[in-house]
């Protein structure tokens, strides 16, 4: 039996049609990754295409890694030559080789959002722009949008000259100064990675020709999320051989705010008139009831390509809908429902996910989960690489790698404190500006700055420190360099001296960074400091989700794309929350269509059970709002929805039905989740540990007993845990075990 026989008819057509432009409209859960990997195998095994002539591009490192593993598995020998990576990683590899053609050094730095904000703030100060009127993030968003559309600073300035109002002209001034500063710092932001690669292709025909010959077959995943610059990048690459296969779902285009242009997928046949269009509509993930609900919601959009998801899976449970009086009761119900399902062995914690429209909605769930001892993880919280101690050490490494990076140099010149004051730094900057050199170069010439005086003596040790490390790059591994940096700066020693819980957590983070450096060196073909910094810069939030973590995941609907869970809760389904108030009162129907696509994405994350919840009143920015049930729920036919009680298939003892819907839900919650029998207290007959002993808790790990109080019915034990801080608990519930030395 051929490996292709396991594909359905439409999947086979997508695999076997290899020549010319192809548009694969892949509905949610329709096996598009499987199609892409089999297509690559078919090209190599049946069509005789060289592995190094194939390129597969996706958006996240997680998706690229998954595709890489599956390609290696199905293709076998030679698969390592296939270029499987994200847009940004692909462009970085090309720019590392050829960006000197555009006047940059090849060891450029990649700026994250915080670095960009620092540069913008300095520029606003220099140009006397009021950041209360023009916020840094607003300016950054405007510049990013311009880059997404391949609008250069000069073109933006020209457009602004004819625009009414002062805003566009101010943005044009900042954009021009920002790009000039980045160039001087030998740095690129994320948008530049794409823009500069397009610029490289357009200005260097020989470079473009090299990559066109190299990549004769190009496949792009999640095509609905591409912006104008990304489309230009792939269309230039595919211009010579036209073998561009794009896979996507216009119904899942939800990143307009990041510059995604849904017109790229809706208008694909206009750009490539000979394109073959193939629809994948069979879903392998969800029950038919969940798909019916998704189909009914999304069909209300006009700007879409017609397709209907179906499955050979069972019909499944109806969609559950619960409406509560407020957000607290909503969170309480969901916490209780998850506890019950885990207790009954129906699901593990990791099988459950709570999705919501805005990050602010997570707070109530966190509070309820802490009370109910439900392990959870918020996706898209503070990124590991955005923490202060990590950014400080990375700034040292960036300075050693690329001393032109003014942002990195200024961040660590007084870390640890070296007594270099703001006045001294200002004089160095003035000198750098006057002579058109980098800030670090000016520091190296501190003795020649006449206004600096005795300040130059404080600057000199810092420069010598950096120069010493720069001279050792070729002799030290990345891990050795990082460990030596930590030792000689005394960074960890200072944290140890603080001796606080926060300081201990920071030391743990630094240890994790060392582990990251070690694993990078194990995995990289040709490890280098530049390569390590590049890999760190390209890591996305969602890539940190570990499949092995047995926790409930809490995340926004945008973060949930690409994931799937047996049991999903879509919370806050009210007009004004989802869809948002601004979308409802706005005059652009496309915004409402994007919100509906976001709802479609949320519904199709569910595999077996989907619960939609709403509150009659909700506290927003300190004020109580009264909202109607979301129009998206009203778009789901009544026969697909079960209101307020468990489906008949569930083997749970039925209770007398209370009069009101909410009272019924409240009573069900109290009985099933916290029955008196469940929490019957049996006092421990003496404890095997005492105050000062080290103990282990099955969930919280190790800690030290701080106090024991005899409460009559049970002992109340206070433990200071290493990872989660101080907790009070009853001995009979805690089941603490003493750790003997």
Determine whether the annotation assigns residue 26 to a binding site: yes
List, as one string, the DSSP characters of 7-52: S-HHHHHHHH--SS-EEEEE-TTS-HHHHHHHHHHHHHHTT---GG
How far apart CA 568 and CA 557 sit, in angstroms, is 11
Indicate left, alpha or beta for 436 from its phi (over 0: left) and psi (-120 to 50: alpha).
Answer: left
Catalytic residue (choose from 115, 148, 221, 714)? 221
Q: How far apart are CA 508 and CA 735, in angstroms?
A: 27
Catalytic residue flag (residue 500): no
* Alpha-carbon dihedral angle through residues 61, 66, 70, 72, given to the nearest 10 degrees: 40
> Helix, strand or coil for residue 83?
strand
Active site (annotated) includes residue 329: no
* Distance from C-alpha of 126 to C-alpha of 119, rounded to nearest angstrom: 11
Q: Which of 11, 32, 401, 479 is catalytic?
A: 32
- 3-state secondary structure (DSSP) of residue 116: helix
* Sign of the dihedral defined by the CA atoms of residues 131, 134, 137, 142, in that order: negative
Of the candidates 136, 148, 222, 609, the residue annotated as catalytic is 222
Determine whether the annotation assigns residue 86 to a binding site.
no
The C-alpha atoms of residue 586 and residue 119 are separated, in whole angstroms, by: 33
Which phi and psi angles does 222 have, rounded to 5°?
50, 45
Catalytic residue among 232, 350, 597, 605: 605
Residue 351 annotated as catalytic: no
496 is an active site residue: no
Residue 675 known to bind ligand: no
To the question of whether residue 56 is assigned a binding role by annotation, the answer is no
Number of C-alpha atoms within 13 angstroms, CB side, residue 672?
A: 27
Is 436 annotated to bind a ligand? Reply is no
Give the span between the Cα atoms of 251 and 735, in whole angstroms. 50
Please name every residue paired with 85 in a beta bridge, in sequence order, or none if there are none.
Answer: 57
Does 32 show up as a binding residue in the annotation? Answer: yes
Radius of gyration from C-alpha coordinates of the chain = 29
d(CA 663, CA 655): 12
Pick the catalytic residue from 37, 60, 197, 252: 252
Residues 219-230 as b or e (16 or more Cβ within 10 Å = b): bbbbbbbbbbbb
Using the CB atoms, write b or e for 668-682: b if 16+ within 10 Å: bbeebbeeeeeeeee
The reply to whether 33 belongs to the active site is: yes
**Does 29 show up as a binding residue in the annotation?**
yes
The active-site residue out of 11, 33, 170, 361 is: 33
Coarse DSSP helix, strand, coil percentages of the chain, rounded to the nearest 5 percent:
50, 15, 35
The number of residues making up the chain comes to 741
Is 126 designated active site? no
Binding-site residues for ATP, in ranges, read: 26-33
**Which residues participate in the annotated binding site?**
26-33
Which positions are catalytic?
A: 32-33, 221-222, 252, 605
């Amino acid at each position: 039996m051929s490996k292709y026989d396991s594909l359905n008819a439409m999947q086979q057509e997508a695999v076997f049609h290899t020549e010319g432009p192809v548009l694969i409209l892949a509905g949610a859960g329709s096996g598009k990754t499987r199609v892409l990997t089999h297509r690559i195998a078919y090209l190599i095994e049946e069509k005789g295409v060289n592995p190094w002539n194939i390129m597969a591009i996706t958006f996240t490192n997680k998706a690229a890694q998954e595709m890489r593993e599956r390609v290696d598995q199905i293709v076998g020998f030679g698969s390592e030559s296939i270029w499987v990576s994200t847009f940004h990683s692909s462009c970085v590899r090309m720019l590392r080789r050829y960006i000197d053609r555009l006047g940059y050094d090849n060891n450029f730095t990649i700026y994250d959002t915080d670095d960009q904000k620092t540069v913008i703030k300095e520029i606003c100060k220099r140009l006397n722009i009021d950041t209360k009127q023009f916020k840094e993030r607003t300016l950054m968003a405007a510049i990013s949008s311009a880059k997404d559309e391949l609008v250069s600073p000069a073109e933006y300035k020209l457009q602004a000259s004819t625009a009414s109002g002062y805003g566009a002209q101010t943005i044009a001034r900042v954009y021009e100064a920002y790009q000039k500063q980045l160039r001087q710092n030998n740095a690129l932001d994320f948008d530049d990675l794409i823009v500069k690669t397009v610029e490289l292709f357009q200005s260097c025909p020989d470079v473009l020709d090299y990559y066109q010959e190299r990549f004769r077959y190009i496949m792009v995943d999640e095509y609905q999320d591409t912006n104008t610059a990304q489309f230009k990048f792939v269309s230039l690459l595919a211009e010579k051989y036209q073998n561009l296969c794009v896979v996507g779902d216009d119904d899942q285009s939800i990143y307009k705010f990041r510059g995604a242009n849904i017109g790229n997928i809706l208008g694909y046949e206009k750009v490539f008139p000979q394109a073959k269009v193939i629809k994948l509509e069979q879903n392998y993930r969800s029950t038919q009831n969940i798909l019916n609900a998704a189909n009914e919601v999304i069909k209300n959009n006009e700007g879409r390509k017609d397709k209907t998801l179906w499955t050979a899976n069972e019909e499944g449970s109806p969609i559950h809908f619960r409406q509560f009086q407020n957000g607290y009761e909503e969170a309480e119900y969901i916490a209780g429902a998850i506890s019950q399902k885990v207790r009954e062995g129906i699901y593990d914690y990791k099988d459950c996910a709570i999705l919501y429209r805005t990050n602010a909605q997570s707070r109530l769930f966190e509070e309820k989960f802490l009370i109910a001892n439900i392990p959870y993880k918020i996706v898209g919280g503070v990124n590991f690489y955005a923490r202060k101690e990590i950014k400080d050490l990375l700034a040292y490494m960036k300075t050693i790698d690329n001393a032109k990076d003014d942002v990195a140099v200024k961040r660590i010149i007084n870390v640890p404190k070296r007594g270099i004051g703001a006045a001294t730094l200002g004089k160095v900057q003035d000198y750098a500006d006057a002579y058109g050199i980098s800030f670090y170069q000016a520091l190296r010439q501190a003795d020649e700055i006449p206004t600096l005086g005795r300040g130059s003596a404080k600057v000199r040790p810092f420069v010598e420190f950096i120069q010493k490390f720069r001279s050792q790059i070729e002799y030290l591994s990345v891990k050795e360099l990082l460990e030596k940096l930590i030792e000689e700066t005394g960074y960890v020693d200072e944290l140890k001296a603080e001796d606080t819980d926060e300081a201990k957590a920071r030391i743990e983070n630094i240890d994790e960074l060392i582990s990251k450096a070690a694993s990078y060196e194990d995995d990289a073909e040709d490890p280098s400091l530049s390569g390590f910094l590049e890999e760190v810069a390209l890591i996305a939030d969602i890539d940190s989700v570990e499949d092995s973590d047995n926790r409930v995941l809490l995340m926004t609907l945008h973060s949930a794309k690409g994931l799937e869970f047996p049991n999903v809760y879509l919370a806050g389904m009210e007009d004004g929350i989802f869809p948002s108030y601004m979308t409802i009162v706005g005059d652009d129907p496309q915004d409402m269509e994007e919100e509906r696509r976001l709802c479609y994405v949320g519904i199709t994350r569910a595999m077996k059970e989907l619960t939609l919840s709403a509150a009659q009143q909700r506290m927003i920015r300190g004020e109580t709002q009264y909202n109607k049930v979301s129009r998206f729920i009203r778009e789901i036919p009544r026969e697909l929805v079960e209101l307020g009680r468990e489906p008949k298939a569930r083997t749970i003892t039925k209770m007398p039905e209370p009069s009101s819907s909410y009272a019924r839900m409240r009573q069900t919650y109290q009985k099933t989740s916290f029955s008196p029998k469940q929490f019957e207290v049996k006092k421990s007959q003496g404890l095997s540990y005492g105050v000062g002993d080290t103990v282990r808790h099955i969930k919280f790990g190790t800690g030290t007993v701080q106090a024991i109080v005899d409460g009559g019915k049970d002992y109340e034990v206070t433990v200071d845990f290493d990872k989660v801080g101080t907790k009070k608990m009853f001995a009979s519930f805690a089941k603490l075990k003493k750790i003997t030395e």
